Amino acid sequence: MFKQSVLIADRDVSFRQDLRKKIESLDYPAVFHESCNGPEAIRYINSLQPEVVFINASLPGMAGFDVIQKISHDPVCVVVSDRLEDAAKAMDHGALGYLHRPICTENLKRTLIRISSYETAGPVPAGKLARYPSRIFVAKGNSLKKIDTSEITFLRAERDYTRINILSNESFLSNLGIGELSRRLDPDKFLRVHRSFIVNLDHVQGLCRDIKRLMLVLPDNIEINVGKRYVPLIRELIF
């Protein structure tokens, strides 16, 4: 049976061991790795490339959310925290789920089922709403600037905020997280291709790949790395 590589990142060794035992008790096939702080988690995730990461939101040395933004590998992430407000924050940072400490075995079981389903089916685009904005207002100094959504080339997560880039090479910082923006923009045009990136498909000029990565090419030769979890969505566009 294929075993997934799972990294547990938490400062508390007893918590890491307890979570590992709970996962094993649910007959989830896994090979485990452990990390105790933020910088170490980044090194392990990028080098070991686990399929799944359970990460504490408050790691020593670097917050778990910052780790998620800085890693180059793109695993399925589950944020663990004792603060309920971190649940929404986890979604905005591209995590698949959130587990509240102390972890309930039944909640863990549901999360593992979601991970298994996600790995099989890949990410699902956001459902269509009745209307999506054709123009938005963004902060520019002490005023608001109107931009057409057709001008947006890509959006990049910057911690709890999002950087909106447009055709004129200007960029604007939104107070909204990338998860919230992905729900507000038309999914027929704006596609989440990485935990940190949304691209406007109208401005994608091509695809390129190397041994390990698939990248989207945007105007001015900007290349956006496609996360492993989002590759199936791009493959659907190849005829």
pLDDT one-digit tens code per residue, 200-218: 999 999 999 887 789 999 9
Parallel, antiparallel, or unpaired: how do β-strands 143-148 and 135-140 relate?
A: antiparallel
Has residue 73 got a pLDDT over 60? yes
Identify the CA nearest to 182 among candidates 230, 219, 142.
230
- DSSP H stretches of helix in 93-187: 105-121, 178-184
Has residue 82 got a pLDDT over 90? yes
Q: In what order do the strands lie in the sheet with 30-35?
A: 30-35, 4-9, 52-56, 76-81, 97-100
Q: In what order do the strands lie in the sheet with 161-166?
A: 171-174, 161-166, 152-158, 197-200, 190-194
Per CATH, the architecture of 135-235 is what?
Beta Barrel (2.40)
Q: Where are the domains of the chain?
A: 4-121, 135-235
Rg, C-alpha atoms of the chain = 19
CATH top-level class for 4-121? alpha beta
- pTM over 0.85? The answer is no
pLDDT reported for residue 126: 46
Has residue 223 got a pLDDT over 50? yes
Has residue 130 got a pLDDT over 50? no
Phi, then psi, of 197 in degrees rounded to 5? -135, 140
Mean pLDDT of the chain: 89
CA end-to-end distance (rounded Å), the chain = 33
